[in-house]
A and B are shown apart, each in its own frame.
Chain A
Amino acid sequence: MTGPNNQEKIKIGWFTFSCCEDNLIVMTEVMNDHWQDWKKLFDFRHVRVLKSHNILDELDIAFVEGALASPEQEAKVKDIRARSKKLVAVGACAVVGLPAGQRNYFTPEQKANIDFLLTRFDALPAVKKVADVVSVDGEIPGCPMTPEDFLTKVNALVAELRPAV
């Protein structure tokens, strides 16, 4: 395939909040079969698992995995939202807030056991899913997401953002 030049590449960000990063691992496995196309299509602008020099300016697509567990994470996802044309929540923790937010459903006794840690690290009283804090343009559920669902969403976004490619 013929790819766009550098200026036209789709700017990608991948951001991880409170989760096990299973979707990130699935993404790196999907990459096994698609890395040559993705190198031509995508500018991996802020993907910490792939590179050291990450730039957070304007993004075409921000993939957000994980639930939000602290005011700092809420502020961060709002900043990402403001910089991104499309924001896609990936995986169960981002889409429904679980299992990362399992403490929301603890018994009073269980909550008493963990309270000192929530205080020590300035955690939110309740963990939130991404859509609780910012608007999302798409969701890929699953624990983890399936490679097929991810590819379908990615291809749809490419078709929308770069119809000529």
Chain B
Amino acid sequence: MHTFDLSMEHITKVEGSAALNLRVVDGRVKEVHFALTEYKRFFTEALKGKSLAAIPPHLARICGTCSNAHIMASIEACEKALGIVPTSQTKLLRALTMHGLMIRDHALHLYLFSLPDIFGKDAFLDLDENDSIEHQLLHDGFDTKSAGNFLATLVAGRSVHATYPVIGGYLKFPDPAGVAEAIEKLQAIRPAVRRLVEIFKNAPFHFDRQTKYMALVPDNNYGYLEGKIMTSAGESYDESQFRAHLEHVVLPYSQASAYTYEGEGYMVGALARLNLAKDKLHPKTKESLAAVLKLFPATDIYLNNVAQAVEILHAVDESIEILSNQMFSPEPVIKAEVKESVGVGVIEAPRGTLYHKLVIGADGQVKEGEVVVPTGQNQINIERDIARLVQELVDQNTAQEKIAPEIEKLIRAYDPCMSCGSHFLKVNWE
């Protein structure tokens, strides 16, 4: 019978730093601790006393790769608190900002982190340039990331810690030459993205997981910034009610906060979004991927990778449509008087539902804040799934040295972000 302790000090090819400790005694998994090991930087404590305008760039520094999502969530929280309603052009620029992020971030995860597992390679750069398929994928990967980076830079100033989006609007606007170049780059990567969808659809990895899926779902399109919180059980809530349904769970070995939904683990992210809203994808995306979309709703965690690839194609198609039909012109940033208020921003970040809450004093300074990130919401399920996976591998008499890579592969399918997950001090709300 297997009896062993497995300690993985560093999970590789993920965002940020995580560790895993598990114990197997007499062939039974007794303990699994999936710990986020990044040191806290106390962003929610540090925002106390800051003026509202400083909050979006401040909270963006929680996470490099998700930074533009944090900016969008905190801008929404600030605007809700101030009663600002963004213009239709601002809404389109924000949609494009999110599409640039989704392309860049999903492509990083799919090509650089997950694709090597499919090809039995240690690194994406180890793909063989003399093999026609692998050669194509190397170029696909960097071209796709580059197109997302270009779109984000054009619309938001930078793809990391964007400088153009602010409370009330944008500081700069895409120029016609940049728009034309973006359309050209997006059109050029469309075949690559379709190849990516096929590769992950045909990947030989599966892990069926019954759980509740949750996402912010817009009324009329597949987007990330507006709508209602919906679950796979048919529940629906306003954004402001989202937090009321979550319970904070302290994992004493982890720097992060974990959450349950009405006492149970749940999943957020691309798989949840596609399960709940695939009918709202861009028409061209639906037409191109009709066969793939029949896989959803799905309970196979590895289809989170396929869902991310689908979202890249949706981002390409919707961005091309917006950029082709919208003339962008400078407009002033909307200003509002500060007042004592509470603002909540809920958006869909690449890895799932992201929640920012700000309590603002009459002087316009922030009194308190709270941030709930996607990885914290998935952490309970990740831990339980690792326990089940290891138990199955032990039951099959799998060699110990083969267990760790299988665990890493499953963790990667969730696409956790430890930078986001570990930098909060839990606030107890009255």
Binding site for B on A (CB under 8 A): 16-26, 28-29, 31-33, 35, 39, 44, 48-54, 69-70, 73, 99-100, 102-103, 106, 110, 113-114, 117, 120-121, 123, 143-144
Contacts and interface: CB of A to CB of B under 8 A. Distances in A.
A144 B318 CA distance: 29
A110 B369 CA distance: 14
Given A20-B61, A44-B123, 8 more contacts: A17-B39, A22-B64, A29-B159, A35-B138, A50-B125, A52-B122, A54-B12, A144-B64
Given A29-B149, A121-B255, A49 B61 contact: no
B56 to A, nearest CB: 14
A25 B15 CA distance: 10
A50 B46 contact: no
B84 interface: no
A117 B13 contact: no
Given A22-B160, A25-B64, A29-B145, A52 B12 contact: yes
B12 A143 contact: no
Contacts of A144: 64, 160-161
Interface of B: 10, 12-13, 15-17, 38-43, 45-46, 48, 58, 61-65, 67, 104, 108, 112-113, 116, 122-126, 138, 142-143, 145-146, 149, 159-161, 252, 255, 405, 408, 419, 425
Contacts of A70: 39
A51 B13 contact: yes
B255 to A, nearest CB: 6
B103 to A, nearest CB: 12
B269 to A, nearest CB: 19
B145 A23 contact: no
Given A49-B112, A51-B122, A114 B425 contact: yes
B108 A28 contact: yes
A32 B145 contact: yes
Contacts of B104: 29
Contacts of A100: 41
A50 B41 contact: no
Contact of B40 (A16, A35, A49, A117): A117
B61 A51 contact: no
A22 B252 CA distance: 27
B49 to A, nearest CB: 8
Given A99-B61, A117-B425, A39 B125 contact: yes
Contacts of B138: 35
Nearest to B159: A29
